[in-house]
Amino acid sequence: MNRTINDLFYQKGRVQRTVLLSFIMAAALTSCSKNNEEITADAQASAVNQENIQQGQLNGQSITYIKKDGKNFFQGDIVLTDEQLKDQPQQKGGASFSRWPGGKIYYTVASNMGSINANKITTAVNEYNNKTNTQWIPRTNQPNYVEFIFGSSSGSDGWAHIGYRGGKQTVSLDQYISVGSVIHEMGHTVGLYHEHTRKDRDQYVTILWNNIQDGQAYNFNIYNSGTDIGPFNINSVMMYWPTSYSKNGQPTIKRANNTNFTYNRTGFTAGDITTINTMYP
């Protein structure tokens, strides 16, 4: 299937794509009925203040993002650093973030995470370790690592820094997040963007702009500064859900033939695995 990894990943022989792998998705839900993840995401989107919408540069491309709680949110659940938002390819060789060295990702879990989410993290880590060339390893004293932190006690969302930056990075998980969405957020960590932002997406899906909440259309913009890997994968765990940011309960994304699709939040597809393993051979 496909993905988009950042140009940064394949600086010397690019092979990447648009979410750093447009492969995994960020919050996908059912097209016919909303679940907790979708309701929470819609509530958050509705609460966004217009004055918090900012413009920046990501790997030389102009992007729109939200400034909230001191963090820069791109495409809803990807957190970018101020340095990444100033990145110009001509200044840094197009490297705003990169792959984890050797595919090894050291991690810790916050003490207040709770046993339920801790078990979800363990399940998701096993999925990566058993099915991909990345290895998530409990941290001892490594300086570059990921910390899983507890987000909202009532929500079902998450967010993550994208790619490898060095130092401590974060994956935030709400109380009711699903295992599939944990896998999704970890996908951002390994370097995947959202599938619907691939450069070739208009050949496979239609964006119904009139159904999108006011001020949220930028979340559906194509991200051109990455490299797409493999074919477009509408079932990717990195795909947006069909009614993401809907203002009227109607689909905001359909197949190009105008039919509905059902989001995947159960785990990796074969295409997702291929994409990650292409990034981390």
Per-residue tokens: 158: 């998450």
What distances in angstroms separate CA 179 from CA 31, 50, 175, 255, 270, one per listed residue?
A: 19, 32, 11, 26, 17
Strand-pairing partners, residue 79, are 73, 161
Query: Is 37 a known active-site residue?
Result: no
3-class secondary structure for 130-186?
HHCCCEEEECCCCCCEEEEEECCCCCCCEEEECCECCCEEEEEECCCCCHHHHHHHH
Torsions phi, psi for 67 (to 5 deg): -100, 115
Q: Is 161 annotated as a binding residue?
A: no
CB-side neighbour CA atoms (13 Å) of 240: 31
> What is the identity of the amino acid at 135?
Q
Q: Is 196 annotated as a binding residue?
A: no
Contact in structure between 59 and 94 (CB atoms under 8 Å) = yes
Catalytic residue among 37, 38, 127, 185: 185
Annotated binding site for Zn(2+): 184, 188, 194
Annotated binding site: 184, 188, 194
Q: Point out the residues that are catalytic.
A: 185
